[in-house]
Structure 1
Amino acid sequence: MPLPVDPARYSAFLVTMFVMAITPGPANLFAIATGMQKGKAAALLGVAGMNAATLTWFAAAALGLATLIIAFPQAFHLLAWAGAAYLVWLGIRSIRSGLKPADHTGQHRAFQMSRSAFRDGFAVQIANPKILLFFGAVLPPFIDIHRPLAPQLAMFAAATIGMDLVSMSAYGLGGAALSSRMNEPTFRRGFALLVGVLLITAAGLIVSRG
């Protein structure tokens, strides 16, 4: 029984995916910002949200919706702009919180915000231009039209999500390593400003690459 994907072709895909996973982009910047601002748990929730969005794209590819997006790129451009606007909104909120005088409610707000990390991560990744690049240019050459599509997509999805999990988690936990000092009011305000800048930078990457 033949394998779903040719081993040599799959190995080449793994190398390509590794490079894409470790390359800084909107998703990795978001992971850093989330880890810095909200800690390890929220960073991992954000990573889960981003990979849920990637899995959604793979499901769309299986249904042929990715081809439709590529055929009508204006639809994806609108999605990318919406994602960028959402990141800018998050960044402005963070900057505003950094400009406010220190208070004693930071921990409560952080807990409330961490509950939306999954949603925020999903929104960032679903509009990430690297997704369109991946499905429009990177993945197609590795698809074998003479083999069943669904098993191939399943193997490619497993590799993509696995590498993204490792890469994004590393970025997010790296940011979270600095969050232990967030109880210091001055440090917390400075980090809120930095997080805002990171999020707005990620939005800029989405717009420029989209």
Structure 2
Amino acid sequence: MLPVDPALYALFLATMAVMAITPGPANIFAIATGVRAGPQAALLGVAGMNAANLVWIAAAALGLSALVHAFPLAFRLIAIIGGLYVAWLGAKALWAAWRDKVAPFDVGKGADLTSAFRDGFAVQLSNPKAIVFFTAVLPPFVDPLRPAAPQLALLGATMIAMDGVAMSGYGIAGGALANVLRKDQARRAFSALVGALLLMASALILLRD
């Protein structure tokens, strides 16, 4: 027997599918990471974002919605810090393209792999889309007449699986582009594109309530 109501779970699957494929800061970050450092780094970035999702699931179990309403400035500050960090990553990529300092793509090597998980975690922890999901979208799918923990565990696992597939698809697509970038001019152009994508993600984080 499912720990959640089957009808509610079916509706959750449909809602989650739409949210997973809708472009947002996380999907944009996955594309940018794939373009910059290849599929392996993109998947590590997705792992970092899903680690942040585990934090949000734990927070939801502790009453995240009530905390957001009680301490809105604290959550806004988290979003601002994350948004500025993503903006810094984007500005760095644009600066490298402008100064013609874009290194050849060493797919699967170097500092990009080291930082991909950390950057993905930071992006998702400050992602307004994640905050909205766990405070407004998820609670209506939790049946108050059933034990909360098993429901949150199943809904959270479903969300991570569907979100992970969607973000991995975006990231691998970006990685496929990186594999064909061999000319210096092409690398500069894509570094500028990565910078623009990251700045777009930053704007989504900073300007969204």
Q: Which TM bucket (shorter chain)?
A: over 0.9
> What is the Cα deviation at residue 71 of structure 1?
2.6
The 2-side partners of 1:152 and 1:46 are apart by: 27
> What is the Cα deviation at residue 113 of structure 1?
2.1
Specify the alignment match of 1:11 in structure 2.
Answer: 10
> What is the Cα deviation at residue 86 of structure 1?
0.3
Specify the alignment match of 2:72 in structure 1.
Answer: 73
The 2-side partners of 1:98 and 1:60 are apart by: 39
Q: Deviations over 1:139-185 (max 9, x none)?
A: 11111111111100000011100001110001001111110133321
Q: Is the 8 A contact 1:70 1:132 kept in 2?
A: no
The 1-side partners of 2:130 and 2:48 are apart by: 14
Specify the alignment match of 1:185 in structure 2.
Answer: 184
Q: Is the 8 A contact 2:40 2:107 kept in 1?
A: no
So what's the TM-score if we normalise by structure 2?
0.94
Specify the alignment match of 1:22 in structure 2.
Answer: 21
Q: Is the 8 A contact 1:4 1:147 kept in 2?
A: yes
Where does 1:1-210 land on structure 2 (aligned, <5 Å)? 3-101=2-100, 107=106, 111-210=110-209
- Partner SS, residue 115 of structure 1: helix
Unaligned 5+ segments in structure 1 are none
Aligned residues: 209
Q: Is the 8 A contact 1:46 1:117 kept in 2?
A: yes
**Letter paired with 2:162:** M
Q: Percent identity?
A: 55
> What is the Cα deviation at residue 114 of structure 1?
2.3
**Letter paired with 1:158:** A
> What is the Cα deviation at residue 110 of structure 1?
6.2
Which of structure 1's runs of 4+ aligned residues deviate more than 6 A?
none
> What is the Cα deviation at residue 108 of structure 1?
9.4
How much is the aligned-residue C-alpha RMSD, in angstroms? 1.9
- Partner SS, residue 144 of structure 1: coil
Gap change, CA 1:20 and 1:103, over 3 Å in 2: closer
